[in-house]
Amino acid sequence: MPKQGYHHGNLAQALVDATLVLIEEKGPTGFTVSEAAKRAGVTPAAVYRHFDGREALITEGARQGYGIFARAMEAAYDSGQPSALSSFEAVGRAYLAFARAHPGHYVAMFESGISVNRSPELHAVALRANGVLERAATELSQHIPEAKRPPPSMFASHIWAMSHGVVELFARNSPGTNVPFPPEDLLETGIGIYLRGLGLIPPDS
């Protein structure tokens, strides 16, 4: 691919797209700025017109990923209404679907070591995504007396962790973890067991 200097049509986005592909292929620490520039068809020097290094490229990939993720979570939440439980389960399934559909973004967000506090923009969109799960958790616990109600942020975080674990072990072709159940079923039954244990849904639901 010929070098295009600083006149690339959308250099910043081309570099982020190249970074996401490299993350899928080599992991978040397995490539250089020069490789990202080569994939985007520009000189390494051109990168620094927009980004101050590899971490900045990954941060922007994570920010864009959280935006896609938040929209997917919001759509899933809406699809389950008016049932709080259906919305909660739909959000969990959306997590798995996102990890499959956007592996480069997923790794940039959760496995690159980039803190969500690295930039205000990244922090804001990460909060938006997490807020969807907390909203579902809040609605699910409304029938429990406030004094006995677990903090929604706590069990939303537990469900997030459970979803992440299912993705890592069963939804991303991890070796040696074959089980005779689809990841969606594993997550849904796990969520059900957890929520029943907290008294958030009746035993026969």
- CATH number for 184: 1.10.357.10
Same domain membership, residue 33 and residue 96:
no
Q: Is residue 163 part of a domain?
A: yes
Same domain membership, residue 104 and residue 35:
no
CA atoms lying within 13 Å on the CB side of residue 34? 0
Q: Is residue 100 part of a domain?
A: yes
- In angstroms, the CA 188 to CA 170 distance is 13
* Residue span of the structural domain in which 38 resides: 11-47
Q: Is residue 141 part of a domain?
A: yes
Same domain membership, residue 61 and residue 30:
no
111/197: higher pLDDT: 111
Highest mean pLDDT among 3-12, 68-77, 178-187: 68-77
Same domain membership, residue 142 and residue 66:
yes
pLDDT at 205 over 80: no
Q: Is residue 1 part of a domain?
A: no
Same domain membership, residue 61 and residue 43:
no
- In angstroms, the CA 8 to CA 14 distance is 8
CATH code of residue 31: 1.10.10
- In angstroms, the CA 44 to CA 34 distance is 5
Same domain membership, residue 61 and residue 114:
yes
Q: Is residue 2 part of a domain?
A: no
Same domain membership, residue 81 and residue 31:
no
Same domain membership, residue 91 and residue 119:
yes
- In angstroms, the CA 51 to CA 58 distance is 10
Q: Is residue 84 part of a domain?
A: yes
Same domain membership, residue 60 and residue 40:
no
Same domain membership, residue 86 and residue 26:
no
DSSP state of 167: I
Same domain membership, residue 112 and residue 43:
no
Same domain membership, residue 22 and residue 108:
no
Nearest of 145, 99, 106, 139 to residue 28 by alpha carbon? 106
pLDDT at 71 over 90: yes
pLDDT at 171 over 80: no
- Give the model's pLDDT for residue 177: 60
Among the listed ranges 37-41, 84-88, 108-112, 133-137, which one has the minimum average pLDDT value? Answer: 84-88
Nearest of 160, 168, 169, 170 to residue 194 by alpha carbon? 160
Q: Is residue 203 part of a domain?
A: no
Q: Is residue 205 part of a domain?
A: no
CA atoms lying within 13 Å on the CB side of residue 50? 24
- pTM of the model as a whole: 0.85
Count: domains in the chain: 2
Other beta carbons within 10 Å of 37: 22
- In angstroms, the CA 104 to CA 98 distance is 11
The identity of residue 151, as a single letter, is: P
Rg (alpha carbons) of the chain, rounded to whole number: 20
